[in-house]
């Protein structure tokens, strides 16, 4: 309340000084008039008026919010495992054998085929098989090895284009009018076809 009175007094004094100066022909500034008026005040009041006002406290700036961490991304599998599906072998139309066989022999029908992808690739071709006492055993056997100019060490007989699949039993070129000692006789052309088509590990199915 006291300060307001002082300030009002300063304004009155300043205006009075300005008016007086104007009447006398002088041009004092408002700042000079106020300074003159302040000089008339007691020293304690002068300090209160002259002292600069304390600056208003500035609120500290709020710290920037941290960006939310990205959710961890689950690692993806580089490769997907492919589960192999086993398909049961089926009968190959026109033969007594199944689709997992690469060569088929029908002992009772004296004929043979080559099979590929479940279908007949070659044949039927005529065959002869083992004589009594040397019957060709039925079953499924893998091809073990080839011998183009094979000669039997037991019977001292030539066995061209031999493809062995059950011990000493093989497809080979032989007589189609005489029974063998267990092997499957083929004509020369058929023996060459079997020799060139069958690979080691291929299955030979022999049906009674």
Residue 166 belongs to domain spanning: 103-207
For residue 33, tell me if it sits in a domain. Answer: yes
For residue 69, tell me if it sits in a domain. Answer: no
Do residues 30 and 121 both lie within one domain? no
* Separation of alpha carbons 185 and 5, rounded Å: 139
For residue 87, tell me if it sits in a domain. Answer: no
- Quote the number of domains for the chain: 2
CA end-to-end span of the chain: 131
CA angle 146, 90, 116 (to 5 degrees): 40
Supply the CATH number for residue 133's domain: 2.40.440.10
Give SS3 for 66: coil
Per the CB < 8 A criterion, the answer to whether 136 and 185 are in contact is no
Last residue of a domain, one of 50, 66, 87: 50
Over the chain (208 residues), the average pLDDT of each successive run of 10 is: 52 47 46 51 52 52 56 52 65 97 98 97 98 97 98 94 97 97 98 98 98
Q: What are phi and psi of 112, to 5 degrees?
A: -145, 160
- Convert the pLDDT of each residue in 22-74 to its tens digit: 444 444 454 554 455 545 555 554 555 454 444 555 555 555 555 555 555 55
Q: Is residue 146 annotated as part of the catalytic site, yes or no?
A: no
Catalytic residue of the set 150, 172, 181, 185? 172
Q: Is residue 104 annotated as part of the catalytic site, yes or no?
A: no
For residue 65, tell me if it sits in a domain. Answer: no
Helices 2-24 and 30-39 cross at an angle (nearest 10°) of 120
For the entire predicted model, the pTM comes to: 0.59
Do residues 200 and 120 both lie within one domain? yes
Catalytic residue of the set 97, 146, 150, 183? 183
**How much is the pLDDT for 8?**
54
99 alpha carbon, distance to own chain's centre: 33
Which two tokens mark 195?
């020799």
**How much is the pLDDT for 33?**
47
Do residues 198 and 111 both lie within one domain? yes
The residues pairing with 119 across neighbouring beta strands, listed in sequence order, are 116
**How much is the pLDDT for 77?**
52
Do residues 109 and 203 both lie within one domain? yes
* Residue of 32, 30, 40 whose CA lies nearest to 9: 40
Do residues 120 and 46 both lie within one domain? no
Do residues 136 and 202 both lie within one domain? yes
């Amino acid at each position: 309340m006291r300060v307001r009175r002082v300030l009002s007094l300063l304004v009155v004094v300043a205006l009075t000084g300005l008016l007086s100066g104007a009447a006398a022909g002088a041009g004092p500034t408002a700042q000079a008039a106020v300074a003159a008026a302040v000089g008339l005040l007691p020293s304690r009041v002068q300090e209160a008026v002259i002292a600069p006002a304390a600056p208003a406290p500035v609120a500290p700036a709020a710290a920037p919010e941290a960006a939310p961490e990205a959710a961890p991304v689950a690692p993806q599998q580089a490769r997907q495992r492919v589960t192999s599906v086993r398909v049961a072998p089926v009968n190959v139309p026109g033969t007594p054998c199944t689709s997992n066989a690469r060569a088929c022999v029908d002992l009772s029908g004296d004929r043979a085929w080559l099979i590929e992808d479940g279908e007949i690739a070659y044949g039927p071709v005529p065959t002869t098989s083992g004589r009594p006492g040397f019957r060709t055993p039925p079953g499924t056997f893998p091809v073990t090895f080839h011998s183009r100019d094979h000669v039997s060490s037991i019977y001292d007989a030539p066995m061209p284009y031999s493809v062995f699949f059950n011990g000493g039993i093989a497809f080979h070129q032989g007589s189609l009018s005489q029974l063998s000692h267990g092997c499957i006789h083929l004509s020369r052309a058929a023996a060459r076809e079997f020799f060139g088509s069958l690979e080691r590990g291929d299955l030979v199915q022999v049906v009674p």
